[in-house]
Chains A and B, each alone.
Chain A
Amino acid sequence: MVDTVHYALRITNCISHIRRAAGRITRRVLPLIFAMGCLSCSQQEPRADLVIANGAEPGSLDPATSKGLEELRIVMALWEGLMRVDPKTALPIPGLAERHEVSPDGKVYTFYLRANATWSTGQRITAHDFVYSWRRVLDPVTASEYAGQLFYLKNAEAYFNRTLKDPNELGVRALDDSTLRVELTNPTPFFLGLCAFQTLSVVPRDVVEKHGDDWMRVRPLPVSGPYQLERWSLNDRVRLRANPHYWDATNTHCQVVDLLPIRSASTAFNLYERGGLDIIWDKELIPSELFPILRPRSDFHSFNYLGTYFLRFNTTRKPLDDPRVRRALTMCIDKQRLVDKILKTGEVIGSHFVPPGTANCRSPEGLAFDPEGARQLLKEAGYPNGQGMRPIEYLFESVSGGGSVHSKIGVELQQMWQRELGIKVELRQMEKQVYLAAQRSLDYDVSRSTWIGDYNDPNTFLDLFRSNNGNNRTGWKNQPYDDLMDQASVLTDLDQRANLLRQAESILVRDEAPIAPLYFYSGFNYHNPDRISGIHGNVLDSHPINAIRVRKEPAR
């Protein structure tokens, strides 16, 4: 007892000594640290009218070089093109061009710009600005990864590949300040959709030319869309403020909008629950283990959009060079089981590649679930019950945070193929960049894959598997397929075109099967419908921010 008291005394004594020593440090060091703190924590601003969890930190907000969904969503708010996207249907509606005319052969478009189309500086946006912006995308020096969106223009590909030097030969010309004439190589039924795509937006020539690579850092940045870029703090937020000079500014509902690059689903969810977020519009930011609880809530909005989860087969390797083997592998995948057991979010399973709901499309039925037929096919190919077949490698990428859908699907497929066909499957998980490099250099057997449509037409999907497409990545080359795609691209009759595309797609998913479609994507938005309106689920998962309204409500 005495000992304890003795020690207690000693401790208090020590502590008082230490406190004195610490006091000296405190007086000198703490103010320094706090001064730094004040500098780095921005002074607390009033909350934005609308706060959105937007997924990853955007890499680029320049329309010519942005490509990720998280980038394109902000780019859409800052920059506009000839057309824009209808928030409900995602169909192209007039943007900076108030009307347009199409020639009877479908190859020449004439766009008439609005008289009140202005930059956020108040200066007029002219047809010459469009010519400049499109040429810039097609200039290899810009290094635009979406330059392919403009290849439908006459001479665009030649200009891009430097076989044609004179930009005046390009199929885009300004007839006067407000009239733009566009010539296409082929009638392109989805061209207006492309005109609403971010890459084709108009950018301010003088700023870009003056500042080069640094032009996105100019403030104030002259923009053509409904919002101005007020602040871009890395990994913190992008703050947008309504552009009063936007031609449709009266219909911009939220004045100040914050987009947060949130990395963790539970952080996003905590913020949402505490009122710090109005909308979570990134599927990865809704904790998947909470799906069963969240789905019945009125905040949870799901919709189908143009995305397909599928497998690529490496057709340059034995035994996958045999279509019978590929078809057999496809036919014994119980897709419904994958959707029910792993995803649990009601995705639609698919036997074809182009998602349902795509315009101008009549997809064929692909290979149905038929393990018996699959075994028969494998036998014909010379591998009865998988005998003589080497183990197959299944490639997928790791996702930070773990518990990824990809690995769970891999495990299921491994079991299905082993059980039904007697084929051994080795799972090979790789870091994302390594996985992509392996896929591209055909260093895999079977690889999980995703494709998200850029515009509402089967072409954005079927184009992929042309022999020379850089995204083919299966080594599959098929002349009849290429021919059908070529024939379809010159047709003006949409019905005939749909028939040809259907034939092409049946080669892809039924006869040759270089890919195995698994399911079509569902999109999710999480927001309180009593508070937020003007955001709609649509096939492009495209949600123009200027259409979103926030209803004022008493504080929670």
Chain B
Amino acid sequence: MFFLKRLLLLIPLLLVISFLAFILMRLAPGGPFDSDRAPASPEIERAIRAKYRLDEPVLKQYAHYLGDLAKGDLGLSTKYRNHTVNDIIVSALPVSMTLGGLAFFFALVLGIPWGVVMAVQRGQWGDYFWGLLSLLAACIPALVIGPILVLSLAVKAGWFPVALWESPLHVVLPTLTLGLLFAGKVARLVRESTTTTLQSEFITAARAKGLSESEILIKHALRLALLPVVSFSAPMLADLLTGSFVVETIFQIPGLGVFFVNSSLNRDYPLLMGLVLLYAGMLLFLNLLADLLLAKLDPRVKYE
């Protein structure tokens, strides 16, 4: 019930977002049909603008847009004129979701133990060593890690393909590049939360009860320490699932990230709108899921 109510609340929120995005992108200077070569006559431009309804008042355009949206039609891209926005999302989203899902999984599987190790060894050489590594992982952008991985593991060693999206082997390097960054962040997060949790009173109580250190860590501390990770995961997953411009460019992957950047540079209004709504929807939905998960994990959190 609570879930349904929250789900319904997302709709007005998405409407507000769509309205703001619709207006803002039209306020940006330059339009989708400014090109090196002007159309041979103003007539062509008028025809093109009419075709995409850009000749109407903005509010009327928006009304039309909502009408089409209700039918599930996101319109025709102005740059990729042979494709509908629906088409583009259907072809690129699964790719981004695969890569993002794997990177997310990799980030958690690597990041959580990494953080725990640092927390357990806090103040010792291990903490500093792993801490430095996690800091590096979280700070060095994919723009640097990607080419280094490609040069070393693909070009020099020849273990992996240098780019493209064809076989499971092609997925490895992009996943590493994308996942490492988030693994570093997750590790930092887990270290802080685990450290704090391990100092709280109920842990002392558990120690007094005579539980072994590992039992305390896994059964009691970790459960609480992972709460911030859950909150952090929702936006992280939304980010990862909708693609990364940099990683997709380095590895020539046909995902959504490239469309995000290019559609705004090209002023491709319909495509940009579709992507903004997709991202916003995903972000809101995942945040909702995270809230639910938090309620389940933490007995102190209660919803009506």
A432 neighbours in B (Cβ, 8 Å) = 30, 265
Which residues of chain B have C-beta atoms less than 8 A from A151's C-beta?
Answer: 40
CB of B139 closer than 8 Å to a CB of A: no
Interchain nearest-CB distance for A219 vs B (Å): 13
User: In the bound complex, do residue A276 and residue B163 qualify as a contact, i.e. CB atoms below 8 Å apart?
Assistant: yes
Measured between alpha carbons, how far is A18 from B48 in the docked complex, in Å?
Answer: 59
- Closest beta carbon of chain B to A179's beta carbon, Å: 28
B51 with A143: CB separation less than 8 A: yes
With A14-B120, A160-B41 in contact, is A233–B94 under 8 Å at CB?
no
B101 at the interface (CB under 8 A from A): yes
> How far apart are B252's CB and chain A's nearest CB, in angstroms?
5
Chain B residues within an 8 Å CB radius of A13: 212-214
Say yes or no for A29: interface residue by CB 8 A criterion. Answer: yes
Neighbouring B residues of A157 by C-beta, 8 Å: 41
By the criterion CB–CB under 8 Å, are B102 and A274 in contact?
Answer: no
The yes or no answer to B69 lying at the interface (CB within 8 A) is no
Asked if B167 contacts A233 (CB within 8 A), the reply is: no
* Residues on B with beta carbons closer than 8 Å to the beta carbon of A11: 117, 120-121
A432 to B28 Cα, complex, angstroms: 12
Q: How many pairs, one residue from A and one from B, have CB atoms within 8 Å of each other in the complex?
A: 212
B250 within 8 A of A: yes
When distances are taken between beta carbons in the complex, the residues of chain B under 8 Å from A39 are: 94
CB-based nearest A residue for B51: A143
Chain B residues positioned under 8 Å from A7 (CB to CB): 120-121, 124, 126
Residues of B within 8 Å of A264, CB to CB, are: 249-250, 252
Contact of A141 among B47, B88, B163 (CB under 8 A): B47
Is B38 in contact with A41, judged by CB distance below 8 angstroms? no
Q: Which residue of A lies closest to B39 (CB)?
A: A145
Q: Which residues of B contact A21 (CB under 8 A)?
A: 218
Selected from A143, A266, A438, A440, the residue in CB contact (under 8 A) with B44 is A143
**In angstroms, how far is the closest chain B Cβ from the Cβ of A305?**
16
| Cβ 8 A contact of B155, one of A144, A161, A270 | A270
Contact of B97 with A by CB under 8 A:
yes
**Given A7-B126, A273-B155 in contact, is the A67-B170 Cβ separation under 8 Å?**
no
Q: How far is the CB of B227 from chain A (nearest CB, A)?
A: 15
Is the beta-carbon distance between A41 and B167 smaller than 8 angstroms? yes
**Interchain CB contact under 8 A, A14 and B214:** yes
Known: A162-B43, A271-B162. A36 touches B101 (CB 8 A): yes
Q: Which residues of A contact B222 (CB under 8 A)?
A: 18
- CB contact list, A1-48 vs B, under 8 A: 7, 10-11, 13-15, 17-18, 21-22, 29-30, 33, 36-37, 39-42, 44-45
Q: How does the 8 Å CB contact mask read for B146-162 relative to A, with 1 for contact and 0 for none?
A: 01001000110010011
- A260 partner residues in chain B, CB cutoff 8 A: 164, 252
Q: How far is the CB of A293 from chain B (nearest CB, A)?
A: 16
Q: Which residue of B lies closest to A141 (CB)?
A: B47
- Say whether B94 contacts A470, CB under 8 Å: no
- Taking a contact as CB atoms under 8 Å apart, the answer to whether A433 and B48 are in contact is no
A58 vs chain B, min Cβ distance (A)? 8
Beyond A267-B162, A267-B249, whether A433 also contacts B155 by CB under 8 A is: no
Nearest-neighbor residue (CB-CB) of B155 within chain A = A270
Say whether A270 contacts B163, CB under 8 Å.
Answer: yes
Residues A15 and B113 in contact in the complex (CB < 8 Å), given A235-B258, A433-B266, A470-B38: yes
Chain B residues with Cβ under 8 A from A30's Cβ?
Answer: 105
User: How long is the Cα–Cα vector from A264 to B251 in the complex, in angstroms?
Assistant: 9
Cα–Cα, bound, A511→B249 (Å): 47
Contact segment of B55-63, B77-85, B279-287, B289-297? B77-85
B30 to A148, Cβ gap below 8 A? no
**CB pair A234 B218 closer than 8 Å:** no
* Contact in complex: B91, A234 (CB < 8 Å): yes
> Would you give the 0/1 interface string for A263-282, flagging 1 where the beta carbon is closer than 8 Å to chain B?
11011001101101000000
Q: How long is the Cα–Cα vector from A232 to B81 in the complex, in angstroms?
A: 13
B1-38 interface code vs A (CB 8 A; 1 in, 0 out): 00000000000000000000000000011111011111
Given the known inter-chain contacts A11-B117, A274-B154, please indicate yes or no for A161 contacting B41, CB distance below 8 A. yes
Chain A interface residue count, Cβ-Cβ cutoff 8 angstroms: 75
Asked if B30 and A433 sit within 8 Å, CB to CB, the answer is yes
Q: Is A213 an interface residue (CB 8 A)?
A: yes
**B188 contacts chain A at the CB level, 8 A cutoff:** no
Take A41-B98, A41-B170 as given contacts and tell me if A62 and B81 are in contact as well, using a CB distance cutoff of 8 Å.
yes
Beta-carbon contacts under 8 Å, B94-145 to A: 94-95, 97-98, 101-102, 105, 109, 112-113, 116-117, 120-121, 124, 126
Interface string of B231-269 (1 = CB under 8 A from A): 000000000000000001111111100110000011100
Judge whether A437 and B29 touch: CB under 8 Å: yes
Residues of A within 8 A of B154 (CB): 270, 274
Report which of A33, A140, A262, A274 forms a contact with B43, defined as CB distance below 8 A.
A140
Which residues of chain A are near B105, meaning CB under 8 Å?
Answer: 29-30, 33
- Complex CA distance for A264 and B162, rounded to whole angstroms: 12
Q: Is B299 an interface residue (CB 8 A)?
A: no
Q: With A145-B44, A213-B76, A431-B265 as given contacts, are A234 and B162 in contact (CB-CB < 8 Å)?
A: no
Instruction: Kindly state the separation between the CA atoms of A260 and B251 in the bound complex, as whole angstroms.
Output: 12
Contact of B80 among A45, A57, A431 (CB under 8 A): A57
Q: CB-CB < 8 A to A471: which residues of B?
A: 37-38
Q: How far is the CA of A277 from the CA of B215 in the complex (A)?
A: 55
Digitize A230-255: 1 where CB-to-B-CB distance is under 8 Å, 0 elsewhere: 00111110000000000000000000
B164-203 at interface with A (beta carbon < 8 Å): 164-168, 170-171
Is B92 an interface residue when CB atoms closer than 8 A count as contact? yes
Q: Which residues of B contact A144 (CB under 8 A)?
A: 44
Q: Is the CB of B42 within 8 A of A10?
A: no
**List of B residues within 8 angstroms of A146 by Cβ:** 37, 40
18 A-B pairs with C-beta separation under 8 A: A36-B98, A41-B166, A41-B171, A62-B81, A142-B47, A146-B37, A147-B40, A160-B40, A161-B43, A216-B82, A235-B92, A260-B164, A267-B163, A267-B250, A270-B154, A433-B265, A470-B39, A471-B38
A contact residues vs B (CB 8 Å cutoff):
7, 10-11, 13-15, 17-18, 21-22, 29-30, 33, 36-37, 39-42, 44-45, 57, 59-62, 65, 67, 140-148, 151, 157, 160-162, 213, 216-217, 232-236, 260, 262-264, 266-267, 270-271, 273-274, 276, 400, 431-438, 440, 450, 470-471, 473
Q: 3 nearest interchain CB pairs?
A: A148-B40, A433-B30, A470-B38
Given A36-B101, A276-B162, A470-B40; 9 other pairs, CB 8 A cutoff:
A40-B98, A60-B82, A213-B76, A260-B252, A433-B32, A433-B265, A436-B34, A440-B34, A470-B41
